[in-house]
Structure 1
Amino acid sequence: MKEFKLEDNPKITTGFVTPDNYFEDFSAKFMQNLPLNEAPEVKVIPLYKRRSTIISLIAAVFVIALMLPIFNQSPAVTTSAEIDQASLENYLSYQTNMSQYDLINSLETEDLENLNETTTTALEQETIEDLLVDNGNLEHYIME
């Protein structure tokens, strides 16, 4: 490969030439092209001539004001005064700080009477024996 030296190769001219005295006369020519301190006249449209615009704006504000109560209404929440039994049992079963004795103490006499009336299931002797034989936690039942 031949050696390449930048100084030896012929230079290409750019083709752009600045006119004579361009930079000396630039500020004077620029100041001549600027307009004097006169601002252009601005067209002013008075509002009283645009009554249709004002009427439409008032109508839009009126419609929005009427629609606000409709948008702010929350959907009707159907809450029942009574708690369903499954959610109550789940709540009580996951409360670790509440024991069976706390539950018994919180029951009123009416609740106890209702429990006695609703739980009238008679177990046969054989069913009880089968449950005790199959279940290994007899100490748990005895302690309770």
Structure 2
Amino acid sequence: MNNFKLDTNEKITSGFKIPEDYFETFSEKVLHQLPSEEPKVISFYAKYSRIFYAAAAIIVLALSIPIANQLQNNSDEMASNEIENYLTQHTSISDDDIVNLLDTEDIENIKIENKIENEALEEVLLNNSQIEDYITN
């Protein structure tokens, strides 16, 4: 094997050379290559404004439906209470007049079907000591 001495042999060059004033002019070259016009900027709100309006409309609608429904129910209850108060306060209307005004469907809705077994009825009658009060009232 041959002895190799660093001081006596020629040095090998890498083959890469940096041009003169490369680092001093590099930033100027990069800035020169950048586009001179500013790009058009579209704001996020402008791009999705329709979606924002649609979401706002859905939220308003979702919040207003229960309120409108409750107002409608309250007005129905008030109307039925007013009719009931009118009928109770005006005693000149007899029961026969009210029955004549009712339809057959209304009369069928009024019918109450009590399906009480005889054993349950007997048990209540035997265990209740105030049965006479219920019978007389």
Whether the TM-score (by the shorter chain) exceeds 0.5 is no
Normalised by the length of structure 2, the TM-score is 0.30
Normalised by the length of structure 1, the TM-score is 0.29
